[in-house]
Chain A
Amino acid sequence: MGRTGERDARALTCIRCPRGCRLTVELGEAGEVAGVRGNACARGASYARAEVAHPVRSVTTTVPVDGSARLRRLPVRTEREVPRERVLDVVRALAGVRAAAPVEIGDVVAEDVAGTGVDVVATARA
């Protein structure tokens, strides 16, 4: 996430897929995105725009699950991305959460986690 030699451009590595494109984001005078280079797809362009304005990340973790013959820990994820600086808050907010079997993939395990407006959902059956 370093900067290139020019003041009005930023170098990024795209994390939207394993290809890991090296992106160059051209910034305008007010810091707005003037252009994105190096991306192989539209996902890369949207990643670059979000990353320079306000980085977001998906969070994956696990919570304990009761009453399941299959699992002791239930894997979960945020239903969509949350602001990057809230990632640790999301994990902390899940510290007291337990799930109870039966659980289907997509079942909501915690609503509006840490006040982000994003639900946390199960990613496995239990």
Chain B
Amino acid sequence: MRRCDVVVIGGGPAGLSAAAAARATGAGEVLVLERDERLGGILNQCVHGGFGLATLGEELTGPEYAARLEDAARAAGATLRTDATVLGVRPAGEGAAGGPCARPGRRPGAGELEVTLVSPARGLERVAAGAVVLAMGCRERPAGAIGIPGFRPAGVLTAGCAQRLVNCEGLLPGREVVVLGSGDIGLIMARRLTLEGAHVACVAELMPYSSGLKRNVVQCLEDFGIPLLLSHTVTRVLGRRRVEAVEISRVDASAHPVAGTGRIVACDTLLLSVGLLPENELSRAAGVELSPLTRGAVVDDSLMTSVPGVFACGNVLHVHDLADHASLEAARAGAAAAAWARGRATRARGGGVPVEPGRGVRYAVPQRVDPERMPDELVVRLRVDGVYERRSVVARADGREVARRRRDILVPGEMEQVTLRRDALLARGGIGRVTIGLEA
């Protein structure tokens, strides 16, 4: 059996960044497995700009950023395979590892992992790995998941699906468009479809604030005079074969439609930009503990999951606003995976102490930290649960303040971060938990 130090599952911005970092940190063979025919993941259809500012110091489009990451991973010596779909990850020697499909060759050693994959070129294969990095990204929440009353005609599709049709296939999904949800992809597609000659009637957002970046509200909606209807939702889809109109209603403070506020908006297409879900089928099957808050893995300060040697990063860990942040996180996971595979890393003692969301915070990642072996500075990323002005993100270890970051405004659509310092956590000996919450 072929043996790699690190196998990275997924060749998007997280996977490519993890692979480059793993090589740079001393890993031997690093193998990236991408199921699509191209590397780059979602970046290929993100033809707009805004990528690379945090990682490369310049503003690039998605395809340009993908090319840079691919070139960097190759230059670092990673092996990049496309058309290769991973079917499973498990500790080596478990289950049917010696089954009829096993190839002769070296058996993976104790504590190693085994990755099963399939590809048109080579059929079913197994690869032994010293460490595995999960970087499968996320999926869009589909129409069936939000339960809009009315018919189920053609013309209802997710914003990302429309993005692929327009930017990769050269197909225009409709001419008269309503967008439900103000996620960034929805905002970007409102502009994109306008440039392609469609008319975007409005963007309706259930919440009283946009879930996308402020810059996208300005440059994608305001620039083109597209109305953003906050606290509104689609309450009915009309049309039997094809969407003919939608009913848009105002919602109250608890997000329930207000009777009598519905108005009919004629359209042939309804785009949904109503959230992204980490794609963790492989993680779940591998026995990785998942968080109900992030829907991604529970990880420690090295981004290792509950399964020894399995790391997670990027949108499969938690949904990021920016590919740059996914890249930075993935570089940490790749470096940690390399250290683990080379036998230079240990597990967090007792799994580490919990890092828990406090007041106003929906989730924080990583969820566990071992103050003894953590890096000198650890970035904890978090999302708040509502709109807050003039608050501080405060980390407390057993009630004692260890980090504080002042913010003028905090919104759920924009990820926040706070940096934990190792010396601050160690200052008073053993701690039981770290809590991250909003304070005055």
Q: Hey, which bits of chain A sit against chain B, CB under 8 A?
A: 1, 13-18, 20, 22, 57-62, 64, 70-73, 75-77, 84, 87-88, 91, 105, 123-125
Contact = CB atoms under 8 A, between A and B. Distances in A.
Interface of B: 38, 44, 47-50, 53, 59-64, 66-67, 166-170, 192, 195-196, 213-215, 217-219, 222-223, 321-322, 408-409, 414
19 contacts: A13-B218, A14-B215, A18-B213, A18-B322, A20-B215, A22-B408, A60-B49, A60-B61, A62-B167, A72-B170, A73-B167, A75-B63, A77-B47, A77-B49, A84-B223, A123-B47, A124-B44, A124-B67, A125-B67
Given A73-B168, A125-B67, A13 B49 contact: no
A54 to B, nearest CB: 14
Contacts of A61: 47, 192, 195-196
A61 B166 CA distance: 10
Contact of A123 (B64, B196, B321, B414): B64
Contacts of B49: 58, 60, 77
B47 A62 contact: yes
Nearest to B44: A124
A76 B167 CA distance: 10
A62 B195 CA distance: 11
Contacts of A17: 50, 53, 59, 215
B213 A20 contact: yes
A62 B170 contact: yes
Contacts of B195: 59, 61, 87-88, 91
A105 B67 contact: yes
A59 B196 CA distance: 12
Contact of B63 (A1, A15, A18, A124): A124
B223 A75 contact: no
Given A13-B217, A72-B170, 5 more contacts: A17-B215, A60-B61, A73-B169, A75-B47, A75-B61
Contacts of B167: 62, 73, 75
Contacts, number: 83
A15 B215 contact: yes
A68 B22 CA distance: 32
Instruction: Report, nearest first, the 4 A-B pairs whose CB atoms are least far apart.
Output: A20-B214, A124-B63, A75-B47, A15-B215
Contacts of B217: 13
A125 B39 CA distance: 12
B219 to A, nearest CB: 5
A47 B63 CA distance: 25
Contacts of B321: 18
Given A72-B168, A75-B167, A18 B67 contact: no
Contacts of A88: 195
A13 B47 contact: no
B73 to A, nearest CB: 16
Contacts of A84: 223
A18 B222 contact: no
A77 B167 CA distance: 13
Contacts of A13: 214-215, 217-218
A41 to B, nearest CB: 11
A105 B223 CA distance: 28
Contacts of B322: 18
Contact of A77 (B61, B214, B222): B61
A59 B220 CA distance: 11
Contacts of B218: 1, 13, 15
Nearest to A76: B47
A106 to B, nearest CB: 9
Nearest to B68: A105
Nearest to B214: A20
A48 to B, nearest CB: 13
Contacts of B214: 13, 20
Nearest to B167: A62
A18 B219 contact: no
A87 B409 CA distance: 32
Contacts of B222: 1
Contact of B215 (A18, A72, A77, A125): A18
Contacts of B53: 17-18
Contacts of B44: 124
Contacts of A64: 170
Nearest to A21: B214
B405 to A, nearest CB: 14
